Copies of this chain bind each other. A is one copy, B any other.
């Protein structure tokens, strides 16, 4: 089947671009001497995880228990759930561990440590945890000054097994590219310094897990780090291109959509990919190049210069030229299938249950995604 014949809207994954993205990151990890534990919250798909594991990664990172359960069912059992485990979810986590899944989870606050310690007290086998160290005030995590107290709480909990530290350098997404190497080094040093300090106290800290793709891409060294998480690089998207973490031609994920209406005098046409099919993510609004709700390519993936999705309604995307040049109506007949490059792959992919995997314009496979919680 050809992409141009897909029922629209549909999620299309360019296999060769994805494999090239995986290779590029694996090469970088090898050069820096660190292993990858890719975050599969972006693809939520077993074949994608298998492609990652075939190329240097050992184990994956997940964001929900539903992902963990899905990957475990398909034999991928070395899993880091990079989200604070709350008492209500302990039963699902222990059920996975009882089935032989090597599931590690996260404690990211003093209150969370206390709650999880109480909820796991009677477990026959402790649950391994990493403690999230907040290195940039960007998101959740334990401040450096609180860390010893939280480590002690985990060590004192019979139902928990302390495995190490985890950081997420989210601020790197909002730092100009030339500043990211220095930022990555600050975060690496904070992570490794905190882990080493624990070991000096006699507390083994075997896992030192470093997060965020843009920081890793610019880092000069990962010394003392044992694993790097990163997810978006598998697919890439316009936000990543906008901040210089990839090129537009690396973007592997697109939405196939059909022209449904044209208003030549208004200089626009409409496609059947709107807010639900593309998401309303506008993260490129804050970057050097604002891509609206997406850029537009032909069915074979060739970028169509000067077109963008200027606005979205629930089921309609409004396509116009960025320059204001008139559209050639005859180039966009009703039913023509185009491909939209999204701002944020994670948000866009979430509307779909399957990937149509393509090489050029040919669909070569259909892969399942596991959404929800």
**A8-B373, A373-B9 are contacts. A86–B350 as well, Cβ < 8 Å?**
no
**A276-B347, A282-B282 are contacts. A88–B335 as well, Cβ < 8 Å?**
yes
At the interface with chain B, which of A14-22, A216-224, A255-263?
Answer: A255-263
Contact B88 A258 (CB under 8 A): yes
A140 within 8 A of B: yes
A73 within 8 A of B: no
A111 within 8 A of B: yes
Contact B115 A335 (CB under 8 A): yes
Task: Please indicate the chain B residues that have their CB under 8 angstroms from the CB of A87 in the complex.
Answer: 334-335
A210 CB to closest chain B CB, in angstroms?
Answer: 17
A7 within 8 A of B: yes
A298-314 contacts to B (CB < 8 Å): 313-314
Contact B316 A140 (CB under 8 A): yes
| Residue from the list B261, B313, B371 in contact with A84, Cβ < 8 A | B261
Contact A315 B115 (CB under 8 A): no
Contact B139 A83 (CB under 8 A): no
Cα A329 to Cα B84 with chains together (Å): 17
- Report, as a range, how many residues of chain A touch the other chain: 35 or more
A149 within 8 A of B: no
Task: Please indicate the chain B residues that have their CB under 8 angstroms from the CB of A139 in the complex.
Answer: 270, 313, 316, 318
A12-54 contacts to B (CB < 8 Å): 41
A204 within 8 A of B: no
| Residue from the list B262, B282, B315, B333 in contact with A63, Cβ < 8 A | B315
Contact A261 B140 (CB under 8 A): yes
Task: Please indicate the chain B residues that have their CB under 8 angstroms from the CB of A260 in the complex.
Answer: 83-84, 86, 108, 112, 140
Contact A347 B315 (CB under 8 A): no
Task: Please indicate the chain B residues that have their CB under 8 angstroms from the CB of A281 in the complex.
Answer: 275, 280
Contact B276 A111 (CB under 8 A): no
Cα A275 to Cα B346 with chains together (Å): 10
A75 within 8 A of B: no
| Residue from the list B108, B279, B314, B333 in contact with A261, Cβ < 8 A | B108
Contact A261 B7 (CB under 8 A): no
Q: List 5 A-B contacts (CB under 8 A).
A: A8-B373, A108-B261, A279-B279, A314-B346, A351-B372
Closest 10 CB pairs of A and B: A115-B334, A140-B261, A109-B261, A84-B260, A280-B281, A108-B261, A63-B315, A111-B262, A84-B261, A140-B270
